[in-house]
Amino acid sequence: MEDANIINRIPAIEVEQVPDIDTLISDEIETLNSDELYEDAEKPGYLRLPHGNALTLDEIYPITASEESKIIAFIGPYESGKTTIETTIYQLFQRTPFCGLYFSDSATLTGYEERSFYTRLNSKNRTASTLRTSRFNERIFLHMKLFDPKTNSKTNYLFADISGEFIFSHKGNVTTLKENMPFLKATDDYTFVLDGVQLADKTLRNGAIDSMRNMARTIFDAQLFTNHTHAQIIVSKYDAIQASADANLKAAVEKSVQSLVSLVSKYISDVTVHNIAAMPQNKGLAIGYGIDGLLKTWMQKNCQNSSYIPCAPTNNLKSEFNKLNYKLLGGETNG
């Protein structure tokens, strides 16, 4: 796509260089809300605004290459609650600071809004639900920049909203996983999401844990991690476990989850477990239950893996460093 790297072409400095400020504030400013506009040739004097959809791998490169960034990949089977966790984080920042952090910016407001709509009251749904993530979508990265007043610093969070169906179709197949998702090497945090509803059901629990163990082992056998990768294991939809009449359920779930922790700990030294109810469907737990602890865990960790993001093949690879980086990651450059 010719304009895949469009965000890269709208730095603030271009705005300052436009001689006539009236042009800037006129109604003729174009946005990139449609595919049609993507394909338009550049028009001199027109200002293009970001499309706001989730970003492709090519489009996150300018962010990770220039600013402090963390890449967080959610790995979980379909409908385990990954996207709901991501959109709830966004919604928790809507009115107030959260976890001592301030929402500072997002290049993917449209992407968040599209995914959040069905969890909101005005969708008129009886229960909060989230649209399933398409397995064919390349626009998987949701972006949020957060400001920490304690350190006076901003960090970009890039959440890989990967379809559960897509990634689990590579379970047990190191070769196809590596071919299809080499960028996972750049992940700073793997957030493995176990479906709490399945864990609450003792006929499904062992199967759910085994399946995730196999998925995690495929990722690690494919060497898609580094010494700096961290991991979190999430028990999602925790309201289903909390509300159960079975007094032994919590202990049984914890014990099963430990077998996944043991496996992941063989490859990654830093593993934490979090019980989360992003969008509980009973009144026992608050919306976003447990997300503060998860966010604090991400905040405390260093991020060093984003240099593994290949720069876009469609880019002009001008810098020798970028050319080398891209070649090291298996890409072919023309110079």
Ligand X SMILES: Nc1nc2c(ncn2[C@@H]2O[C@H](COP(=O)(O)OP(=O)(O)OP(=O)(O)O)[C@@H](O)[C@H]2O)c(=O)[nH]1
Q: Which is nearer to ligand X, 80 or 305 (CB)?
A: 80
Closer CB to Mg ion, residue 83 or residue 325? 83
52 binds, among ligand X, Mg ion, none (CB under 5 to 8 A by kind): none
Which of the listed partners (ligand X, Mg ion, none) does 237 bind, with a CB threshold of 5 to 8 Å by partner kind? ligand X
Task: Give me the DSSP letters along 187-215.
Answer: -SEEEEEE-HHHHHSTTTHHHHHHHHHHH
Scored b (16 or more CB within 10 A) or e, 148-183 reads eeeeeeebbbbbbbbbbebbbebbeebeebbeebbb
φ, ψ (nearest 5 deg) of residue 107: -85, 0
SS3 38: helix
79 is a contact residue toward ligand X (CB under 6 A)? yes
Residues making contact with Mg ion (CB under 5 A) = 83, 133
Judged by CB under 6 A, the stretch of 13-21, 74-82, 314-322, 327-335 that binds ligand X is 74-82
Q: Give the separation between CA 67 and CA 63, rounded to whole angstroms.
A: 6
Pairing of strands 48-49, 30-31: parallel
Nearer to ligand X, 183 or 308 (CB): 183
Among ligand X, Mg ion, none, the one that 281 touches (CB under a kind-dependent 5 to 8 A) is ligand X
Please, which residue, 83 or 106, has the CB nearer to Mg ion? 83
Which secondary-structure segment (H or E) carries 217?
helix 205-221
The distance of closest approach from Cβ of residue 111 to Mg ion in the complex, given in angstroms and rounded to an integer, is: 12
* Residue from 9, 43, 132, 202 binding ligand X (CB under 6 A): 132
Q: Is residue 237 at the binding interface for ligand X, with CB under 6 A as the rule?
A: yes
- Using the rule CB under 6 A, is 280 a contact of ligand X? yes
Q: Output Rg (C-alpha) for the chain, integer angstroms.
A: 21
Shortest Å distance, C-beta 304 to ligand X? 27
- Which residues sit at the interface with ligand X, rule CB under 6 A? 76, 78-84, 129-130, 132-133, 163-165, 237, 239-240, 277-281
